[in-house]
């Protein structure tokens, strides 16, 4: 959307101050995220600008959201993205935009993944697919992307949609079926990002372990990782959102051992008790998940690992909670997200029996959240005395960055402090990659003394 608007002459900024139109990219995953999106929309409307709702919540609820939120001048569908400039011009002109009636976007594409490539369906985050000579180098291919900031980290979208049918999740219905972007598209965008000063690429999708299945190559991600890491200027590639049931040994090895790829495993466990996982329509168990993590650490002993868990799913027993506690206690995860279960419209779980009382869910949530915080703090303490490579994000009052096990925004950070190391703290700039010795921890955050410059960012 930003690239299309920029190409059409719009002036873009991250903030709403002074804006004529504010586009809010909403989230529609869980109740808390939807509420945050609504509050953001209302706050933007108070500033006097015309407010437009886009993103997942807008796609998921369409006309219903427009009727319940008159503060929004328009509620857009993914199908509006190719014509976003015209939509905003209409909003500024006072025209009424008829909000869409939501539909199951899975039905828009063929059931067979390899048959989806040639269908003209709006895929959020994919942009256009211009016709390009196969001989054109990746760094010379056209890119539909515009950055709103100049930081050293940027996301790179692998794919959109999801073919899984987890009982608690409505995402596939409004994001659609799984569709990968081709390797040449990704390499071209990665080259462009590197040219804007990006040093770390964060690979994102609803399910990164499915990447390539619709391209006829289930090992596509394993092949892509070293190609991305080899791009000049890129010092770290990070894969996010891996499904444990699809995390193959070859992919584990590629992430754990490829130079320039963060040994970081963002695994979507959700629970570890088998009865709960089966009701969720997922696979695995405490022992299988611990075996997966053991295999990771055999290849990369200091690898980072994080996951999210749902507490209070229908039918969850005390024994199931005890089993989840056993897993968390032995898993040594660096970051743990805990969510209290809530019914989501249109999901199988909303109709399941065995619903727990709100008080029980809150109690279990509080207990598991406290345990998660304690365990993650212990894991951070284990890293004290060790060595980490820190990508500097910000300088100023403090020099702050992230080690390989710390993803942006969600996993804590590392503060660099002066010491006996061989790096001048005052000379560091965003994008520098330094090797540092960990001297302390606070919760999930680390404190470290930089000892060596691994790769300096290009100075202006």
Contacts of 103 (CB under 8 A, 6+ apart): none
Q: What share of the chain is helix, strand, coil (3-state, %, to 5)?
A: 35, 20, 45
Side-chain half-sphere CA neighbours of 132 within 13 A: 17
DSSP 149: -
Residue 59's nearest CA partner among 118, 128, 122, 148 is 122
Angle between helices 249-257 and 220-229 (to 10 degrees): 10
3-class secondary-structure state, position 121: coil
Residue located via tokens 């008159």: 70
- The dihedral formed by the CA atoms of 64, 67, 73 and 76, expressed in degrees to the nearest 10: 10
Contacts of 355 (CB under 8 A, 6+ apart): 314
Q: Cβ distance 429 to 152 under 8 Å? A: no
Give the whole-angstrom CA distance, residue 257 versus residue 296: 10
Residue 421's nearest CA partner among 401, 450, 386, 455 is 450
3-class secondary-structure state, position 310: strand
Q: Cβ distance 238 to 204 under 8 Å? A: no
27 among the known binding-site residues?
Answer: no
Supply the DSSP string of 373-419, one letter for each residue. Answer: HHHHHHHHHHTTTSEEEEEEEE-SSSEEEE-TT--TTTS--EEE--S
Q: Which residues are annotated as a binding site for [4Fe-4S] cluster?
A: 162, 166, 169
Q: Which residues are annotated as a binding site?
A: 162, 166, 169
């Amino acid at each position: 959307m930003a690239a299309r608007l920029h190409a059409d002459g719009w002036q873009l900024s991250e903030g709403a101050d002074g804006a004529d139109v504010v586009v809010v990219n909403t989230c529609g995953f869980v109740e808390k995220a939807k509420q945050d999106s609504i509050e953001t929309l209302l706050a933007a409307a108070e500033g006097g600008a015309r407010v437009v709702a886009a993103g997942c919540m807008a796609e998921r609820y369409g006309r219903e959201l427009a009727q319940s939120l008159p503060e929004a001048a328009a509620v857009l569908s993914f199908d509006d993205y190719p014509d976003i400039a015209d939509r905003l011009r209409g909003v500024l002109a006072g025209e009424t935009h008829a909000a869409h009636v939501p539909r199951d976007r899975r039905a828009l594409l063929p059931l067979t993944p390899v048959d989806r490539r040639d269908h003209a369906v709006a895929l959020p985050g994919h942009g256009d697919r211009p016709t390009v000579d196969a001989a054109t180098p990746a760094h010379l291919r056209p890119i539909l992307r515009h950055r709103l900031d100049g930081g050293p980290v940027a996301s790179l979208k692998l794919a959109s949609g999801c073919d899984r049918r987890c009982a608690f999740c409505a995402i596939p219905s409004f994001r659609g079926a799984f569709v990968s972007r081709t390797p040449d598209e990704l390499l071209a965008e990665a080259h462009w990002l590197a040219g804007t000063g990006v040093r770390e690429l964060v690979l994102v999708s609803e399910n990164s372990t499915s990447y390539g299945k619709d391209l006829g190559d289930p090992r596509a991600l394993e092949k892509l990782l070293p190609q991305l890491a080899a791009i000049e200027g890129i010092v770290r590639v990070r894969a996010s959102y891996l499904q444990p049931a699809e995390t193959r040994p070859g992919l584990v090895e590629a992430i754990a051992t490829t130079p320039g790829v963060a040994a970081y495993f963002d695994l979507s466990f959700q629970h570890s008790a088998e009865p709960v996982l089966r009701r969720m329509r997922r696979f695995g168990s405490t022992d299988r998940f611990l075996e997966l993590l053991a295999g990771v650490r055999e290849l990369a002993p200091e690898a980072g690992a994080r996951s999210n868990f749902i507490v209070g799913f229908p039918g969850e027993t005390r024994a199931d909670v005890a089993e989840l506690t056993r897993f968390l206690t032995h898993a040594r995860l660096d970051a743990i997200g805990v969510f209290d279960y809530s019914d989501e419209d249109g999901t199988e779980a909303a109709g399941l029996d065995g619903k727990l009382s709100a008080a029980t869910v809150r109690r279990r949530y509080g207990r598991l959240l406290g345990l998660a915080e304690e365990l993650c703090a212990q894991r951070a303490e284990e890293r004290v005395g060790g060595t980490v490579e820190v990508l500097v994000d910000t300088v100023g009052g403090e020099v702050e960055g992230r080690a390989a096990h710390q993803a942006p925004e969600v996993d804590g950070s590392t503060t660099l402090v002066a010491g006996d190391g061989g790096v001048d703290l005052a000379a560091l700039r965003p994008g520098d990659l330094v090797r540092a010795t960990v001297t302390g921890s606070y919760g999930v955050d680390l404190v470290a003394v930089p000892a060596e410059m691994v790769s300096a960012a290009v100075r202006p």
